[in-house]
Amino acid sequence: MLSLKSIDLKKVKTETLIIPVCEDRDIHDDKTVSSLITKAKKLKEFKGDKGEEIVFYTPPEIKAGRVIFMGLGKLEKLNAESLRAFAGKAVKKCINMKLTEVLIGCPSAKKIKMEMPLPLEAIIEGAYLGNHLFDKYKEEKKHSSLKNISFLVKPDVAKSSGKILKSITTICEGTIFARDLINTPSNDKKPEQFTKIITDTAKKENLRVKIFDEKELKRKKFGAMLAVAAGSESKPRMIVLEYNPKGAKKTVALVGKGVTFDSGGINLKPTGSLEEMKSDMSGAAAVAATLIALAKLKPKTKVIGIIPVVENMPSGNASRPGDIVKSYSGKTVEILNTDAEGRLILIDAISYVIKQYKPQILIDIATLTGACVIALGEKIAGVFSSDDELAQSIISSGEKTHERCWHMPLPDDYKEDLKSDFADFKNIAGSRWGGAITAALFLSEFVGDTRWAHIDIAGPSYMKKGNAYCGVGGTGFGVRLFCDLLEKL
């Protein structure tokens, strides 16, 4: 449970109070908090430097079991991301101390001079996300999430920020939903199961849900997608989620790559980090979680989520290099590498959503290429779009949510590389250089003149090491970004 509180610390009992402290400036409105800080700073061992911590037990001035001071460093270095990290770290510390609840003394927006997002928003986000751990598969549970997290704010803020608290909670819940899906092992999220988890939740939120099974996919001629699914015992699915508010003027389509496991197929991937390919459905998770969140946030735009779900496996039935398939669009593709499967399922989903829903804007999100990770590293996603305005909106939502994106080029002349000797296209370019770009260009051949952007999240969708507000594994990248973007569009 998360709540905003404006209480007199001298009168109201609290188990644990956490106070973030700047090294060079007082950032708090609450006078009691400020005087506690002055007292803490009189000690040699605490100055508010970044990372410093000190605990006062049962301080005489207030009715708290303990006060934990946490250093943030200099004010000029402070930003939304460092506040998220502070809050995540604060919650983790309380969990490690076996506590069950905490009150976080929130700094004043005015004194920090932060607007988008407000310091309070960043702190709520960090605390909510930091409170969660994926331990479903551990018989011996060591983590016990805090039951109550409260935020100490001024009375007017407590009154006016209820809505913000609710919307952040909803968006973070979505992020956790996506993280849990990504962390779920592939033996427990085969396409049919994966589809059920998503659609059961979507139905509860009153989204309109359609599921195409293999028979339907064959009837509708989703040839590229079926070619990827062919090698697996588990049959493919296409999920359509519709959020359709009254009076909507615009339709946005979100397409998410849902490969529940990417072995590479006949072009089998080598041992190394094959197990991480359980995360090859991170785009799908982001789209599903976003739609589920939107059902509660209720923005005015109509949003369609399209999720092709397959498992990419080698077998006697699997597609072979050299196979030629006819995609939903009617264009043919020569599959020269079965490991370039993401683009095959995406083009069918993209063609279908354009034909069926005629969206004004189409954004796909996918763990598409290792090349994008080479280009931008593990923390930044690549945005590909010839629509600068759309790309810029995505990038600025990414800045606000710290789901960082970088605008990548779509050079026309690189398209040459995708021409096949035997079919309309081949699914990989002749050279491996610029692989993230040629993958995006391949998709671009199927979007027509719809305003379109592609986000390659192969890097930031998964973390080998956790951070202050995300555990090891799926990050849920895209959910917070999309929720912010769709509010704007």
Residue 445 sits in the site that holds ligand BES (CB under 6 A): no
Q: Minimum Å distance from CB 31 to Zn ion?
A: 56
Q: Name the nearest CA neighbour of 225 among 284, 285, 303.
A: 284
Which residue lies nearest Mg ion, judged by its C-beta? Answer: 339
Residue 364 sits in the site that holds Zn ion (CB under 5 A): no
What is the pattern of x (binds ligand BES, CB under 6 A) and - over residues 125-144? --------------------
Contact in structure between 149 and 131 (CB atoms under 8 Å): yes
Per the structure block, which two tokens stand in for 118?
Answer: 């407000």
Neighbour count for residue 271 (Cβ, 10 Å): 7
Instruction: From 8-16, 112-120, 296-304, 364-372, give the range in contact with ligand BES by CB under 6 A.
Output: 364-372
Buried b (16+ CB within 10 A) or exposed e, 225-262: bbbbbbbbebbbbbbbbbbeeeeeeebbbbbbbbbbbb
Report d(CA 399, CA 456) in Å as an integer. 16
Respond yes or no: is residue 269 known to be catalytic: yes
Residue 484 sits in the site that holds Zn ion (CB under 5 A): no
Per the structure block, which two tokens stand in for 24?
Answer: 């060079």
Q: Minimum Å distance from CB 382 to ligand BES?
A: 12
Residue 280 sits in the site that holds Zn ion (CB under 5 A): yes
Instruction: From 13-21, 59-67, 103-111, 366-374, give the range in contact with ligand BES by CB under 6 A.
Output: 366-374
Q: Minimum Å distance from CB 224 to ligand BES?
A: 14
What is the pattern of x (binds ligand BES, CB under 6 A) and - over residues 259-298? ---x-----------------x------------------
Chain-centroid distance of CA 197 in Å reads: 17
Nearer to ligand BES, 383 or 458 (CB): 458
Residue 340 sits in the site that holds ligand BES (CB under 6 A): yes
Q: Minimum Å distance from CB 65 to ligand BES?
A: 45
Please pick, among 89, 179, 343, 426, the residue that the annotation labels catalytic: 343
Per the structure block, which two tokens stand in for 82?
Answer: 């460092």
Report CA Rg, the chain: 24
**Nearby residues of 248 by Cβ (< 8 Å), 6 or more positions away:** 300, 301, 302
Report d(CA 406, CA 16) in Å as an integer. 41
Q: Name the nearest CA neighbour of 458 among 422, 414, 405.
A: 405
What's the N-to-C CA distance of the chain in angstroms? 31
By DSSP bridging, strand 208-212 and strand 258-262 are unpaired
Please pick, among 269, 296, 320, 451, the residue that the annotation labels catalytic: 269
Residue 262 sits in the site that holds Zn ion (CB under 5 A): yes
Q: Which does 201 bind (CB under 5 to 8 A by kind): ligand BES, Mg ion, Zn ion, none?
A: none
DSSP 187: G
Instruction: Name the residue type at position 304.
Output: I
Q: Name the nearest CA neighbour of 93 among 78, 64, 112, 71.
A: 71
Residue 180 sits in the site that holds Zn ion (CB under 5 A): no
How many residues lie near ligand BES (CB under 6 A)? 16
Q: Minimum Å distance from CB 368 to Mg ion?
A: 9
Q: Minimum Å distance from CB 340 to Zn ion?
A: 8
What is the pattern of x (binds ligand BES, CB under 6 A) and - over residues 412-441? ----------------x------x------
Residue ranges in contact with Mg ion by CB under 5 A: 262, 339, 341
Strands of 332-334's sheet in order across? 324-326, 332-334, 425-426
Nearer to ligand BES, 152 or 366 (CB): 366
How many residues lie near Zn ion (CB under 5 A)? 4
Residue 311 sits in the site that holds Zn ion (CB under 5 A): no
Residue 371 sits in the site that holds ligand BES (CB under 6 A): yes
Neighbour count for residue 322 (Cβ, 10 Å): 10
Per the structure block, which two tokens stand in for 162?
Answer: 């209820």
Binding site for Zn ion (CB under 5 A): 259, 262, 280, 342
Task: Catalogue the active-site residues.
Answer: 269, 343
